[in-house]
Every structure is written in C-alpha cells, then in structure tokens.
Structure 1
Amino acid sequence: MSQQAGWYDDPQNAENLRYWDGVQWTNHTSPKQKPDLDRAGAPAQEAYGQPGGPFAGQQQQGQPYGQQQYGQYGQNNPYAGQTGQQPYQAMPGGFATQTDERTRTPDGQPLAGWWHRVGARLLDSIVIAIVGGLVANTLVPGVWADYTDWALSATDPAAQPPAELMGRVAQWSLVLAVVGFVYEVVMVALVGGTLGKLMTGLRVRLRDQPGLPGWGAALIRSLVYQLSGVFAPVYLLNVLWPLWDGKRQALHDKAAKTNVVKKR
C-alpha cells in the first residue's frame, strides 16, 4: 500500500524535507531549519506523531512532516501553487471579487447580458403596444383614423396638423406611457420582472440584496426609464449604458440600485 502524500525526511539529504506525492518522490524539497522559527526543524514524530512512511526504520525517517503546517495555502507552505493548490477559492455564499463585478452581483448571481435585456425589452414593447393601445383607443377614440384622414387630404407637404388633432395625439401617447409605467412598476414589485423578462429568464433585484426589489425601487426604476424616453439622446444613452458600465447597470438601474440577473 502506498504511503499517503505529504512532506517527509529527504532520503537523499537528511537536512531537507522532500514531498512524496503518494506514488513517488517529487523534486520539491525544503530545508528543515526555517529562519525565525524555533520549532521549524522539530522531528516529525514529535510534531505529528504519525509513524511509518516509505522509509520507516531509517532513524525515524519517513515520518509525515508538516501536513498541517504545509498542507494549506498561506500557512508557510513554500510550494503553494506547485502541488495543485489554488491561491484562492470562492467561499459558498461569499461575495464576488472585484473582477466578477461585470458578470455577477456581490453575492454571486449572474448578471444579464445586454442583448438578453434588449430581447426582453422588445417583448415588453409588444405587450405594452397591445394592452396600452387598447386602453388609449378606449380613452381617446378615433385619433389615428382622424390623423390618417387629415394626412391624406393635406395638399401642402409642409402643413402642420390642427392643434386639436395634435392635442388628441398627445393624450393618446400619454395614456400609452402611463400604461407602460404602471405595467413595469406592478410587475417588477410583485414578481420581480415584466412579462418579457419572465419569458426570457431574467429578474430585477436590488444589487446588494436578493429577492424582490420592493415598490420603492420598482417605482424609481420605471420613472427614470420613462423620463429618459422624453428626450431621444438620453433614452439611447440609458439603453446603451450597461455596455460599458462596470456593474452592467443602465441609468435607471443605478437610480434604483438594481441589477437585471439571469435565473436560467
């Protein structure tokens, strides 16, 4: 039966330790005497009390040495990183490192990519157009039929629609915007995402806290998004912001302290 892997007295040099990988000796050696460590050369049997070894019987050689002292990274192990150990392992439930900010929340949940978010937003646009259009047509009936009649009858290409007609168009657009605002606030607050996000496996959450973002964050997020749509350049900047943002947040995410994450 092969001796377990560990540091043992070097059979070639009594002043050294040599690492036994469980099958054969490796080229990794270390002097027994360590500067500033009084007990660094203590006999392995006294330090650890483990008898035996591949060279047992040669004046207590073959005793496992430093398996606790050298077996873990960061505890005076002169060969950490040379024996298959990694200098860092993510702790379950721990916080992501700085290099993970663009891909994960602080507690490790993966962030949605830009195209993934765009796909969800396109689906939501269809939902809002259908539902909002029905509501707007009920509250401001016949506006687009009247606008079409005016456009077909106008003889001057530079002519402006009548003020009354433009007022009705503005009312129709306002109803559509209100429907979109209410739709997003209610869906995000109650289930963590709009229909588009639910269908594409995305959710909205607070960046530093898992679960539903709450009514306050949902309200702020939707309000900033809707207001950005008033001025096209600001809206475009808001939509594109996650492409270069270090936390993949749009401007409305930053205002509400939220992130869009992937659930599947």
Structure 2
Amino acid sequence: MHNEEYEYAGFWIRVGATFIDVFLLSIILLPLTMMVYGDLTWKREGLILGSADFLINYVLPFVATILFWLYKSATPGKMVLNIKVVDADTGEKLSVGQSIGRYFAYIPAMAILMIGIIWVVFDKRKQGWHDKLAKTVVIRKRKK
C-alpha cells in the first residue's frame, strides 16, 4: 500500500487500541456471563462453562470484531485512536475471508510468548504475524 497520506501504525498505539477493546468487551461480556452463570463465572475450571458462555465470550466477540473490520475498518479501540486495518496491497477494506483469517491468525501470533505480536516492533510495515498471514496492515493518517 503506497499512500502518502497514511503511515503504518506502530506497536504502542496498537497496544492502546487493544486495551480499549478489552475494556469495552469486558464491561459488556462480564455482566452477560454473570447473569447466566453467577458465581460460576469466577470459579471456572475449564475454558468454557457451557453453551451460553461459548456464545457470549467466543462467538459474540468474533462476530463483533469481524463486523467492525468489515464496516468500519477498525474495532472501537482503533477508531478512538484513529487507526484502521486495511488490505496490505490495495489499502481498501478487508474481505470477509481476510477478516476471518486475521482473527484466527492471532492464535499462532500469540502462541509462543506473543512473538508474532511483538514482531510489529521490528517489521518495516509494522505487521504482526496475523497481519502477514491475512495480508493486512494497520495505518493512521500521517502527522503533518
């Protein structure tokens, strides 16, 4: 993507966007989970308490993230910080396939000590492994 108006968004602004997203998701998902599971929410022994937990804490964030990427090119945290996720070659919005691929590409990016996420610091296009796998970049308007 070659557009003089934009630059690649770096590691720390992306971390900030993630913190905002995690906070917003928590204030939505935690009360929903507690309404269904009560104190079991805090005493979970496995990854999933039941079908409602799966829907609330896995399916809902997945669907919301994909829809935000498709329609806004950014999650709420990225929107607050004025950064967006676009196709690495065209600079256009992501396709459905790219969005789904990017979402699941976070798994290998975080699997080994978060190396695939930290990779953003060292990459010339500031791409993490999830970006490389999905052929995306995160951009922001260039400071003038």
- Could you tell me the TM-score, scaled by structure 2's length? 0.81
Aligned residues: 138
What is the CA distance between 1:244 and its match in structure 2? 1.0
TM-superposed CA distance for 1:230, in Å, is 7.4
1:258 to 88, 113, 136: 136
Determine which structure has the larger helix proportion and give its number: 2
Does 1:106 find its partner at 2:106? no
Give a deviation string over 1:158-202, Cα, whole Å, max 9, x none. Answer: xxxxxxx524x6337744233332221110111100000000000
Structure ranking higher on relative contact order (CA contacts 8 Å, 6+ apart): 2
Q: RMSD of the alignment, in Å?
A: 2.4
Aligned partner letter, 2:131:
D
Aligned to 1:25: none
The residue that corresponds to 2:117 in the other structure is 239
Aligned to 1:170: 48
Higher Cα radius of gyration: 1
Structure 1 residues 126 and 188, CA gap change in structure 2 (3 angstroms): same
Measure, in 1, the Cα distance between the counterparts of 2:22 and 2:38: 21
Separation in 2, partners of 1:184, 1:241 = 22
CA contact (8 A) 2:110 2:116 kept: no
CA distance in 1 between partners of 2:49 and 2:141 (Å): 38
Distance 2:94 2:76 in 1: 16
The letter for the 2-side match of 1:114 is F
Q: 5 Å matches for 1:175-186?
A: 175-186=56-67
Aligned to 2:19: 122
| 1:10-49 to 2 correspondences below 5 Å | none
Separation (CA, whole Å) in 2 of partners of 1:228 and 1:138 = 32
Separation (CA, whole Å) in 1 of partners of 2:35 and 2:130:
30
1:107 aligned partner, one-letter code: N
Identity of aligned residues (%): 24
Post-superposition offset of 1:229? 7.8
Q: What CA distance in whole angstroms lies between the structure 2 residues aligned with 1:186 and 1:113?
A: 23
SS in 1 for 2:8: coil
Assess if the C-alpha contact under 8 Å between 1:128 and 1:176 holds in 2.
no
Specify the SS of the correspondent of 2:84. strand
For 1:255 and 1:140, the matched residues in 2 are separated by 36
Q: Which runs of 5+ in 1 are unaligned?
A: 1-104, 148-164
2:96 partner letter: W
Q: Which residue of 2 aligns with 1:204?
A: 85
Cα distance, 1:139 vs structure 2: 4.0
CA spacing shift, 1:262–1:183, aligned 2, 3 Å:
same
Report the residue type matching 2:24 in the other structure: V
The TM-score, its normalising length taken from structure 1, stands at: 0.47
Distance 2:31 2:90 in 1: 37
Other-structure match for 2:34 = 137
1:217 Cα offset (Å): 1.1
Do the aligned residues in 1 keep the contact of 2:21 with 2:76 (CA within 8 Å)? yes
